[in-house]
């Protein structure tokens, strides 16, 4: 098993860095914000708590929560314009520094493409580097489900995305940064996991992650070391 020093060296020499989005790159959980906006916040937050406890599969939890929210296309767009996602302090500088070093940056999220693409735009990350769940709508804008073929719709999906990126781009060293168990499980095939507790602390991740940070400044400092 890699030591902390080895993980830090791996981060400094990474070809690609993948970030989780909800509670990592942004301060909030997108699905909970959407639920609040659609008037079913409490019921969905309770479902989220149960899902985090690992008693149901990710896809089953997503299906149940979206079935309760049933967001229309108009509601999703209004949420983004009225309550845009709040970037976590330090993320803009970190992504910019990674880009300067020629590192590819990806956003891999169990959240929704339309919200995550809005975040990517603010960070100068190409939309082709976004992997997230896609909501489906009928021609009149009503909710029609979600694209169940996306890897991020399944448990273990983030690892599948990283395996795909390694195969497609021949990356040698891929780092995954996130707050949750699904991010930690993506390594392997990811080469290094960095736990993030700047917005929410997940006990399991804090205890198991070899490298755990509370602010993105800690990673910026690592990049200045070299």
What's the mean per-residue pLDDT of the chain? 87
Catalytic residue among 22, 179, 183, 191: 22
Q: Mention every residue, 6+ apart, whose C-beta is less than 8 A from residue 214.
A: 196, 197, 198
pLDDT attached to residue 226: 56
Per the annotation, the verdict on 191 as an active-site residue is no
CB distance 28 to 85 below 8 Å: yes
Per-position b or e across 91-117, b if 16+ CB within 10 A of its CB: beebbeebeeeebbbbbbbbbbbbbbe
Of 220 and 120, the one with more pLDDT: 120
pLDDT attached to residue 121: 93
pLDDT attached to residue 136: 93
Of 1 and 142, the one with more pLDDT: 142
Convert the pLDDT of each residue in 27-58 to its tens digit. Answer: 888 888 899 998 899 888 777 766 655 567 77
Question: SS3 for 197?
Answer: coil
Mean pLDDT over 169-184 rounds to 88
The rounded distance, in Å, linking the Cα atoms of 177 and 194 is 5
The rounded distance, in Å, linking the Cα atoms of 218 and 216 is 5
pLDDT attached to residue 177: 92
> Which of 119, 120, 123 is closest to 98 using CA atoms?
123
- The domains of the chain, with CATH numbers, are 4-28+84-224 (3.40.50.1000), 32-82 (1.10.150.210)
- Residue 106 pLDDT greater than 60, yes or no: yes
Confidence of residue 185 (pLDDT cuts 50, 70, 90): confident
Radius of gyration of the CA atoms of the chain, in A = 17
Per the annotation, the verdict on 22 as an active-site residue is yes
Confidence of residue 76 (pLDDT cuts 50, 70, 90): very high
């Amino acid at each position: 098993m890699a030591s902390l020093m080895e993980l830090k060296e791996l981060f400094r020499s990474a070809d690609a860095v993948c970030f989780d989005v909800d509670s990592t790159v942004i301060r909030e959980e997108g699905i909970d914000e959407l639920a609040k906006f659609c008037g079913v916040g409490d019921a969905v937050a309770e479902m989220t708590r149960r899902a985090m406890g690992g008693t149901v599969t990710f896809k089953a939890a997503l299906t149940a929560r979206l079935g309760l929210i049933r967001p229309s296309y108009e509601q999703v767009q209004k949420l983004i314009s009225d309550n845009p996602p709040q970037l976590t302090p330090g993320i803009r500088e970190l992504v910019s520094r990674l880009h300067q070093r020629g590192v590819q940056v990806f956003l891999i999220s169990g959240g929704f493409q339309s919200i995550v693409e809005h975040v990517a735009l603010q960070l100068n990350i190409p939309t082709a580097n976004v992997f997230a769940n896609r909501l489906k709508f009928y021609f009149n804008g009503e909710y029609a489900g979600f694209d169940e073929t996306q890897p991020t719709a399944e448990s273990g999906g983030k690892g599948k995305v990283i395996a795909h990126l390694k195969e497609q781009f021949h990356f040698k060293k891929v780092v995954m940064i996130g707050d949750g168990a699904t991010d930690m499980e993506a390594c392997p095939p990811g080469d290094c996991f960095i736990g993030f507790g700047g917005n929410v602390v997940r006990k399991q991740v804090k205890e198991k992650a070899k490298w755990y940070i509370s602010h993105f400044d800690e990673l910026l400092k690592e990049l200045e070391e070299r």
